[in-house]
Amino acid sequence: MTTPGSGLLLATDLAPRCDRATDRALALARGLGGRAVAATVVEPSERTARNVPRHDLPGWYTEPSDAQLARQRLEPEFAAAARAWEVQVREGAAGEQLARLLDAIAPALVVTGPVQATARPPVVLGSTLDRLLRRPGIALLMVHERVHRAYRRLLLASDFSAPCAAALQRARTQFPDAKFTVLHGYSVPMLGLLDSSRDQAIADAATRLREEGRAFLREAGVDDGVELLVEHGDPARLVQQYVDSVGADLVVLGTNGRSGIHELLVGSVARRMLTTVRADMLVVRP
């Protein structure tokens, strides 16, 4: 279920990759008390060039604008919805237009399709995504999977930082009926130089980090009923292994906006997860 007082914004480019996001947004909105808005933005660079002949046109033909065509495609998705939806079709830069919508309905959960796959994970994920992730308090749900049920098992990939604590708290508020697991992947500096003491170094680090993890959960106020896993290995790989082996409906990430050029970037580990992990992802910035 979603938080009764929060809003929901579905951001779609009407491409097939956003179909599953639309289905998830419809499911989430059923228990929503705030506004439910479905939005698409027609950008000048993406306006279609329809080669409609200017001679011998039928008398009934009126050439629609791209915004009219977008509305014709978007509105039927919500005509039979269990609750009322607002359909917004805007023109301009997508990041700017979605930011304006969020100003009007915040706080809101933003639902969209997955990051588009590339040969190599991009340093900057895209102007629209970057614009949204710079917003304080953003919760961005990127949907990969078909909707089979409500989110029941959530996995937080955590480095025990303040942004991860904020992400865990937001996810617990947004999905209070779900079970939560916190997974911390770690490495041991200069491990390759060790010989017989290698295993002991890994075990000692795990013991220390479990204590740090329990303190993290206590300070976040969510230590009741939350499973803590501390594993040696690459965090992005561990998350995918958990999704494949144990199962998680939703992976939660915390990200922190910084000043200057870093404000445009998502941390390297989070970036790899966004572009490689095959699961729905909730990214939260405090």
Same domain assignment for residues 108 and 160: no
pLDDT score of 261 more than 50: no
Total count of domains within the chain: 2
C-beta of residue 255 within 8 angstroms of C-beta of residue 267 = yes
- Report the chain's mean pLDDT, rounded to a whole number: 84
Retrieve residue 46's tokens.
């993406």
- Predicted confidence at residue 82, as pLDDT, reads 86
Same domain assignment for residues 157 and 282: yes
Nearest CA among 250, 60, 240, 53 for reference residue 145:
250
Same domain assignment for residues 154 and 282: yes
Amino acid at 254: G
**Span 35-55, pLDDT tens digits:** 999 999 998 765 555 555 667
**Span 102-137, pLDDT tens digits:** 998 877 899 999 876 544 444 444 568 777 888 888
Q: What is the pTM of this model?
A: 0.86
Same domain assignment for residues 156 and 79: no
Phi-psi category of residue 134: left, alpha or beta, with phi > 0 → left and psi -120 to 50 → alpha: alpha
C-beta of residue 107 within 8 angstroms of C-beta of residue 77 = no
C-beta of residue 161 within 8 angstroms of C-beta of residue 215 = no
Query: Domain span at residue 280?
Result: 149-286
Average pLDDT over residues 166-173: 93
**Span 51-105, pLDDT tens digits:** 556 677 788 888 788 899 999 999 999 999 988 999 999 999 888 899 999 998 8
More confident residue, 264 or 142: 142
Measured distance CA(31)–CA(176) in Å, rounded? 12
